[in-house]
Amino acid sequence: MPLVGLGTWNLRGEECVQVVSKAIQLGYRLIDTAQMYENEKEVGQGILKSGIDRNQLFITSKIYRISNSYEKAKYAIEETLNNLQLDHIDLLLIHEPYPQGPQMYQALEEAFLKGKVMSIGISNYDENRYQEFIKNCKIIPAVNQVENHVYYQKWELHELLMKHGTAMQAWSPLAQGLLNLSDQTVLKKIASKYNKTPAQISLRFLTQRGISVVPKSKHELRLKENIDIFDFHLTEEEINQIRQIDQNDTLFSWTKNF
């Protein structure tokens, strides 16, 4: 799984097609979508429009609450394959913790064994829900995709996931603009040293920890910036400085409903 991908939340219609195609042409190889986003078809069209061989790409999608049973989840998997116009998905996640999560995950496990899905996982599971979830599954989730950025760094969750062989992936790795990274003194100072932006420092902080990130942007300049983060290496001192700005709390009130 690539360390940097394109998030497609809130991308719609022809704009979604164009952004996905452009991102792939710029070098992105991970594209993240979801049934909840209602744009899988457009993402699939963007993949085709890019002209890049499918085998070079890593495509992620997620099924959600409307597929809250084993049978519904089986149908949702086929629907995602059809929407994306793909014969397999590289990673398929359960979008949020649901009471029916284990039933839904059973359908994912079967799809994995049949080769329709190359890897399976979950999203938005905290420490307690993750530990409870893995008691009831045959295949340990390959990924847990969670809110993760410099203001909510989740070191303990990351350590727990690694212990059990689950990778952590970050959605909203740039805090979705709710807090202005460019105003953060620590990030500005480090960015100046490396001739990068505070956003690039934020993404490098996560990827250097081995956390894959899926920032969303529809602007070509920002798309280029978000992937241009592998020509420098943060020092241990700089990592510790960034750790000090961790607020250890979500920026999204709706996640507290899980």
Tell me the helix, strand and coil percentages in the chain, rounded to 5. 50, 15, 35
- Out of 28, 37, 130, 152, which one is annotated catalytic? 37
Q: Which residues of 129-164 are buried (b: 16+ CB within 10 A; e: fewer)?
A: bbeebbeebeeebbbbbbbbbbbbbbeebbebbeee
Active site residue 130: no
- Please tell me the distance from the alpha carbon of residue 224 to that of residue 212, in angstroms, as a whole number: 17
- Please tell me the distance from the alpha carbon of residue 26 to that of residue 50, in angstroms, as a whole number: 10
* Segment holding 58, helix H or strand E: strand 58-63
The token duo for 195 is 């001739």
- Please tell me the distance from the alpha carbon of residue 112 to that of residue 102, in angstroms, as a whole number: 15
Count of other CB atoms within 10 angstroms of residue 23:
25
- Please tell me the distance from the alpha carbon of residue 93 to that of residue 111, in angstroms, as a whole number: 12
Q: Is 95 annotated as a binding residue?
A: yes
Provide φ and ψ at 184, rounded to 5°: -85, 115
Catalytic residue numbers?
37
Which residues participate in the annotated binding site for substrate? Answer: 95
Which residues participate in the annotated binding site? Answer: 95
